[in-house]
Amino acid sequence: MTKPNPVGVPESGASAPAPAAEQTAVHFGLSHALVIICFVVTAAVLSKLGMPVNTVLALLAGAGAIGVAVVLAIIVPSRNGGRLARALRAYLTAGN
């Protein structure tokens, strides 16, 4: 009796081609939630202490932009940013 052919297995018995690159999905986790909570709490505390809302938003936007720039410098491979990315990875993994 012949078994049905599973999906993705060639009929000839040759091995299936390897996937180009495995992509891992990034799911929303606790660390993402904590960053958002910290931004909201910081905004609330600074506005309660008397800082104008426009200044609070500018401060948090600047801090967020710096965070995004650092993450992109580490993650995105580029010819000019290679040294910076290696230096940041070394600093962050050294336990400082």
Across the range 35-60, mean pLDDT stands at 89
Q: Which long-range contacts link 87-93 to residues 24+ away (Cβ below 8 Å)?
A: none
Delimit the domains of the chain by residue range. 30-93
Q: Which two tokens stand for residue 34?
A: 């904590």
Q: Highest mean pLDDT range out of 6-15, 33-42, 64-73?
A: 33-42
Q: What is the mean pLDDT of residues 10-32?
A: 61
Q: Over the stretch 49-68, which tens digit does the pLDDT of each residue have?
A: 999 989 999 988 988 888 88
pLDDT-derived band at 2 (thresholds 50, 70, 90) equals low
Give mean pLDDT, residues 67-86: 72
What pTM, to 2 d.p., does this model score?
Answer: 0.49
Burial 1-20 (b: 16+ CB within 10 A, else e): eeeeeeeeeeeeeeeeeeee
The answer to which of 9-13, 32-36, 37-41, 85-89 has the lowest mean pLDDT is 9-13
